[in-house]
Each structure stands twice: as C-alpha cells, then as structure tokens.
C-alpha cells in the first residue's frame, strides 16, 4: 500500500473518461432514449385517442341510425297519407267529371230534342198549311195569315 | 515455505517505474495499474461510443439492449438518489465509475498465473505485473479523491462559496460551536473518499489474495475452492462497482442539499 504518482495518472485517466462520456456517449444515448420514450408515449396516447374516437363514432352512428329510422317511418306515414289523399281527390274528381259529362249529355240531348221538336213543328206547320191550302184550294197569303199561322204553330 | 512467501509477494508486487530519483518515493508509477486501467478505460469508451453512434430508436439489437440496460440502470439510480438540480455531469460520471470499476474488477477473474505464465514464455519470469488495477490504492484513491473534489465543487456551485463556507463553520451545531463544526465537517469530507476507496481496494485486494492462496493448492483440488470463489466474486465485483457508483451519487446529492 504505497501512494505514488500513479494516483495522478489515474486521476487524469478518470477525468478524461468522464469528460469523454459526458461529451460523446451520454448525450446521444440520452436523446435516443428520450426520443424512444416520447414515441412510445405518443403511440399510447394515439391509441387511447383512437379508442375514444371509435366509441364516439359508434354512439354517433347509433344516434344517426335511430334518427334515420324515425325519419323513414315519418316519410312512410306521410306517403301513405298523401296517397290516400290523392286517391280520394281523384275519386272526387272522377265523380264530378262523371256528373258533368252526364249533365252535358243531358243538355245536349235536350237541345237535340228541342231542335227536333222545332223542325217537326216547322214541318208540321208547313204540312198543315199545305193541307189547308189543298182543302181550301186557296193559296194562303203568307203575309195576311201570318198571325194565324203563328198561333197554329204555337199550338202544335 | 519461503517459496510460498516468495510466490505471494511476487504476485502482490507492482511493476514500479521510478520516474524521478528524489528520495521522497512519490515520483514513481505503477505501470501495470496505469496501463491496465487505461486499456480498460479505452475498452469502455470504445464500446459505449460505438453504442451511442449506432443506437437506434426502433428495433434495437440484443447487444444494444444489453448496454442500454446498463445505461438505464445507472440513470435510474441517479434519478432515484440524486435530488439536486439537474446536472449534466452526474449520469456520465456514474456510468464511467460503474463501468470502469467493473472492468477493472473483472480482471480479478483472470487466472492469477496467466500473466506470469506469459512473462515466463517471454523469457522474463521475474517481471511483476498486477493485473487488477482496483486492487491498487492509487487507482481507488484517484477516483475517490476526484469524487471529493466534485463534492466540494457541487457544494460551492449549489450554495455559493459563501454559503458553503458558512455551512462549514456553522453546521451542525450553530455558529457558536465553530471549531467543533469545522472538525465535524472536515471529518465528514475526509471520511467519504477514504471509505469509498478503501472499501473497493480491500475487497479487490482480498479477492486477489484468496485467488493466489487457492493457486497454492495442489492443482487437482484447486477447482474445489476456485470455482465457488470465482462465482461468488462475480457478484462481488459487480456489487463493489455498484456501491462505489451509488455512494458517489449519494455524496453528490448530499453536497447540493442544505444541511
């Protein structure tokens, strides 16, 4: 056990080793390990976030689905109502149309009848006049017997 | 018997080179301790610089993971033990202490006669070469005294020169017990490096001695003691390196804390 100058040499060696480690070994290693730790932490956080987002999306989808279903039934009932309405309207219109056609036909018919009657009357009038002429063998003066003829016509 | 003594003494003698012929005896160097520790220090630096260069964030190799484990252990110790302000030096310091001491201690597991055998082959059987640097007080004291300076430096940096000086004269008994305080503080300062270095030195020296004694047994019975002692010694060398490191961190932590 003797202390000698080896002590100084050893101390210098020690100092060099420490300084070298401080300068060239520890900083890159430390950076690397910190980077790795950060990466892992980030990954875990991202996974957690993804999980949360997934549950949020799931609940949102469920809500949306419920909403859509509600809307579908609403649309369906609306459509039903509307179709009923359309059908009833169409029925009503058809009935009206039918009636109108009916009445038109009736009126036309009546007109036709009237016209036929008129023609008949005229014809009968003329026949009557002719008959009378032949009976009387006299020409009836259209001008003079106008009023008479008219009254006969009206009576027919 | 004298040959046994000679054998042991031969194994425990340093390769001493006198660098100055002053009578004091201080100016000589243990070439074996110095060169072995330098070599081991360079091995340590080589491995860890390579690791730092090649370290990948993703898909680290097994070797990288192993050395990362060491670095992680050291930095965890620092995190757990050191309560001062963040220091750029303390983790590299601890890592260096742990790895360097571990490597120096590891030399204890080389067969005690290996070096002498090679000396013998080289035609120089009388050459001395102690292969375990940490079994030399110079090596252990060099480290512990460096740590002492760091303790003082950390104290001054944390508390200022005045704060440290004040603590030196006023703690632990108050300013009125000044001489007693100084005595206590100096004792506290001095015992730290001494306990650090003598603990390591003692363990390694004793371990080396036991290996030498085992080597004195007949060759066919050596394994009976040599194997258990070597296995036990694997634990000791790691533990001693770890203790030196942790105590250094503790002392530095104490240095920056207020009394």
Query: Is B217 strand, coil or helix?
Result: coil
d(CA B4, CA A144): 192
Q: Report how many domains make up chain A.
A: 1
Q: Work out the average pLDDT over A109-126.
A: 88
d(CA B55, CA A24): 13
Q: Which of residues 55-84 of B touch A (CB under 8 A)?
A: 55-58, 68, 71-72, 75
pLDDT > 90: percent of chain A? 65
Alpha helical stretches, state H, chain A? 6-20, 26-136, 146-155
Contact B193, B144 (CB under 8 A): yes
Pairwise CB contact (< 8 Å): A22 & B92: yes
Pairwise CB contact (< 8 Å): B137 & A1: yes
CB–CB contacts below 8 A, A to B: 119
Give yes or no for residue A140 having a pLDDT over 80. Answer: no
Q: Work out the average pLDDT over A70-80.
A: 96
Query: Is B17 strand, coil or helix?
Result: strand
Query: Is B2 strand, coil or helix?
Result: helix
Q: Work out the average pLDDT over A73-98.
A: 95
Pairwise CB contact (< 8 Å): B52 & A35: no
Closest residue in A to B75 (Cα) is A30
d(CA B182, CA B191): 14
Of A7, A22, A29, the CB nearest to B138: A7
B240 preceded by cis ω (within 30°)?
no
Give yes or no for residue A76 having a pLDDT over 90. Answer: yes
Given CB atoms, is B189 within the 8 Å cutoff of chain A?
Answer: no
Largest distance between two CA atoms of chain B: 68
Measure Cα distances from B17 to B10, B59, B99 in Å.
16, 49, 27
Measure Cα distances from B50 to A25, B40, B58, B138, B172 in Å.
9, 15, 17, 30, 47
Closest of B98, B130, B99 to residue B116, by C-alpha: B130
Tens-of-pLDDT digits for all 259 residues of chain B? 468 888 888 888 888 887 776 656 788 888 889 999 999 999 999 999 998 888 888 888 888 889 989 999 999 999 999 988 888 889 999 999 999 999 999 999 988 888 878 887 887 777 788 889 999 999 999 999 999 999 999 999 988 898 888 888 887 787 888 888 889 989 999 999 999 999 999 999 999 999 999 988 888 888 999 899 999 999 999 999 999 999 999 999 998 887 6
Query: What is the domain extent for residue A134?
Result: 2-155
At residue B229, the pLDDT reads 93
- Beta-carbon contacts of residue B53 (< 8 Å; ≥ 6 apart): A28
| Interface test with chain A among B21, B44, B48, B52, by most A beta carbons within 10 Å | B52
At residue B1, the pLDDT reads 45
Query: Is B238 strand, coil or helix?
Result: helix
At residue A141, the pLDDT reads 67
Q: Which of residues 26-55 of A touch B (CB under 8 A)?
A: 26, 28-30, 32-33, 35-36, 39
Contact B129, B15 (CB under 8 A): yes
Closest of B210, B6, B21 to residue B116, by C-alpha: B6
Which sequence positions of B are flagged as catalytic?
195, 199, 203
d(CA A20, CA B33): 21
pLDDT > 70: percent of chain A? 95
Contact A149, A125 (CB under 8 A): yes
| A11 neighbourhood in chain B, CB within 8 Å | 142-143, 145-146
Q: Whole-model pTM?
A: 0.75
The more confidently predicted of residues B173 and A140 is B173
Quick: pLDDT tens for A142-151: 676 777 777 7
Given CB atoms, is B142 within the 8 Å cutoff of chain A?
Answer: yes
d(CA A62, CA A64): 5
Please tell me what DSSP assigns to residue B127.
Answer: -
């Amino acid at each position: 056990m003797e202390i000698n100058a080896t002590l100084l040499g050893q101390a210098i060696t020690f100092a060099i080793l420490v300084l070298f480690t401080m300068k060239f070994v520890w900083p890159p290693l430390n950076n690397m390990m910190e980077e790795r730790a950060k990466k892992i932490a980030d990954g875990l956080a991202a996974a957690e976030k993804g999980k949360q987002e997934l549950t949020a999306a799931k609940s949102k989808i469920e809500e949306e689905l419920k909403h859509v279903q509600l809307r579908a039934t609403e649309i369906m009932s609306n459509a039903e109502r509307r179709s009923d309405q359309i059908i009833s309207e169409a029925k009503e219109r058809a009935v009206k149309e039918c009636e109108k056609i009916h009445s038109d036909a009736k009126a036309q018919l009546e007109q036709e009848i009237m016209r036929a009657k008129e023609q008949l009357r005229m014809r009968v009038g003329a026949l009557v006049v002719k008959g009378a002429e032949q009976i009387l063998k006299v020409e009836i003066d259209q001008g003079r017997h106008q009023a008479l003829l008219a009254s006969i016509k009206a009576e027919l | 018997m004298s040959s046994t003594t000679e054998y042991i003494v031969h194994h425990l003698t340093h390769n001493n080179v006198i660098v100055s012929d002053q009578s004091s005896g201080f100016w000589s160097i243990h070439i074996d301790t110095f060169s072995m520790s330098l070599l081991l220090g360079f091995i340590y630096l080589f491995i860890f610089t390579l690791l730092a260069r090649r370290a990948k964030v993703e898909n680290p190799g097994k070797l990288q993971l192993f050395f990362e484990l060491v670095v992680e252990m050291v930095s965890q110790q620092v995190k757990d033990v050191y309560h001062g302000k963040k220091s750029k030096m303390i983790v590299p310091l601890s890592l260096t202490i742990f790895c360097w001491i571990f490597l120096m201690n590891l030399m204890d597991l080389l067969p005690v006669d290996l070096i002498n055998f090679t000396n013998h082959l080289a035609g120089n059987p009388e050459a001395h070469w102690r292969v375990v640097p940490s079994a030399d007080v110079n090596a252990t004291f060099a480290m512990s005294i460096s740590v002492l300076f760091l303790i003082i430096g950390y104290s001054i940096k944390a508390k200022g020169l005045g704060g440290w000086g004040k603590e030196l004269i006023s703690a632990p008994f108050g300013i009125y017990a000044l001489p007693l305080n100084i005595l206590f503080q100096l004792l506290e300062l001095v015992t730290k490096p001494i306990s650090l270095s003598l603990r390591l030195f003692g363990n390694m020296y004793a371990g080396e001695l036991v290996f030498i004694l085992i080597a004195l047994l007949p060759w066919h019975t050596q394994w009976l003691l040599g194997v258990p002692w070597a296995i036990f010694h694997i634990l000791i060398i790691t533990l001693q390196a770890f203790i030196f490191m942790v105590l250094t961190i503790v002392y530095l932590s104490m240095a920056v804390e207020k009394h």
